[in-house]
Amino acid sequence: MSLKFDELKKIYGDNIYKNEILSKYSWFNLGGPSEIFFRPNSVAQLSSFLQEIKKTKNKTTIIGAGSNTLIRDSGVKGVTIKLGSKFSFLNLINNDTIHAGAATLDKKISNFAKDNSLSNFEFLSCIPGSLGGGIVMNSGCYENEISKILVSVEVIDENGKIFEIEKDKINFFYRGCDLPDNFIILSAKLKGLKLDKSKIEKKQSEFIKKKEQSQPSQIKTCGSTFKNTKNYKAWELIKKSNCEKMFVGKAKISQKHCNFFVNEGNAKATEIEQLIHKTKEQVFKKTGIKLELEIKIIGER
């Protein structure tokens, strides 16, 4: 069944748009239009929408802060969902646990934890994503990752049904987890350790400084393009294979961190994708190692 935009518009009003250009929702600043773009502002609205969409059998794509997602130039077919501002919230429960909405930025969670003298959230100040994206990616740095502080996640499925999943029921691994693709994370509980606020502040500033020194900032990138392998960092393999100076049009490799690919202004998503393939091929030719993507690529070819 086709998507009847006018009917959906009658129900969801200003929360739904047609042909919304997605480039502004990705850190690469790239991407074509989404056939239908939905920004729910309540769980009830999202639940009702998912039930409507299920009848049409259209594909649903969820995006968070877009800091790990390359969106193709031809855009995204079906429905793209980005949680609205009501999904960005922070509450302290039981003194050592934070209940946060999935759209909450990691940096905000880190600062909230600091303000409440809760440690182990410092690393989140270095990750520019949202909590939902962080859980799906099991994001982390400096010997920590989301799964280590996670207690449980609240999700909604394609039928609009909501349930809570304990951390132990989810298999987390390096930059990923086995949560089904059709689950949208609504919120999560994260547990920290009580610590003196000044110590947390110090750790947080050290991490931020370390990041600034090792990685480029103020550029259009989605962070690490490839995952590290068992024995090598992806950047080491890229460097060893002499890929650092490679480019396709305005898609370049950062000179500060060669696993960061950059839109140097007016690149096309296709150019970033071509650069990814070119690099992967060269690394394989030189080292025999097949690099695996860390960033997600969505949209029509």
List residues with catalytic annotation: 175, 224, 294
Q: Residue 202 belongs to what H/E stretch?
A: helix 197-214
Can you read off the two tokens belonging to residue 8?
């959906």
Member of 50, 62, 267, 283 binding ligand FAD (CB under 6 A): 62
Member of 27, 49, 235, 261 binding ligand FAD (CB under 6 A): 27
CB of 95 to ligand FAD, least distance (A): 26
CB of 126 to ligand FAD, least distance (A): 5
- Binding residues among 223-242 for ligand FAD as defined by CB under 6 A: 223
82, 132, 207 from 144: Cα distances, Å: 27, 17, 12
CB of 18 to ligand FAD, least distance (A): 21
The reply on whether position 66 binds ligand FAD by CB under 6 A is yes
Member of 21, 141, 165, 246 binding ligand FAD (CB under 6 A): 141
Q: Indicate left, alpha or beta for 135 from its phi (over 0: left) and psi (-120 to 50: alpha).
A: alpha
CB of 30 to ligand FAD, least distance (A): 13
> 268: Cβ–Cβ under 8 A, 6 or more apart, which residues?
30, 73, 249, 250, 251
The reply on whether position 40 binds ligand FAD by CB under 6 A is no
Number of Cβ within 10 Å of residue 130's Cβ equals 29
- Binding residues among 102-131 for ligand FAD as defined by CB under 6 A: 102, 126-130
The reply on whether position 221 binds ligand FAD by CB under 6 A is yes
Going along 150-263, which residue ranges are E strands?
Answer: 150-156, 162-166, 172-173, 176-177, 184-191, 193-194, 220-224, 247-248, 251-253, 260-263
CB of 7 to ligand FAD, least distance (A): 26
The reply on whether position 69 binds ligand FAD by CB under 6 A is yes
**Residue range at the interface with ligand FAD (CB under 6 A); choices 2-10, 139-147, 250-258, 284-292:** 139-147
Can you read off the two tokens belonging to residue 299?
């949209």
Q: Which is nearer to ligand FAD, 141 or 246 (CB)?
A: 141
Residue 184: CA atoms inside 13 Å, Cβ hemisphere, count?
Answer: 27
Can you read off the two tokens belonging to residue 19?
């042909």
Can you read off the two tokens belonging to residue 99?
């209940």
**Footprint of ligand FAD (CB under 6 A):** 27, 62-69, 83, 102, 126-130, 132-134, 136-137, 139-141, 184-185, 221-223, 296
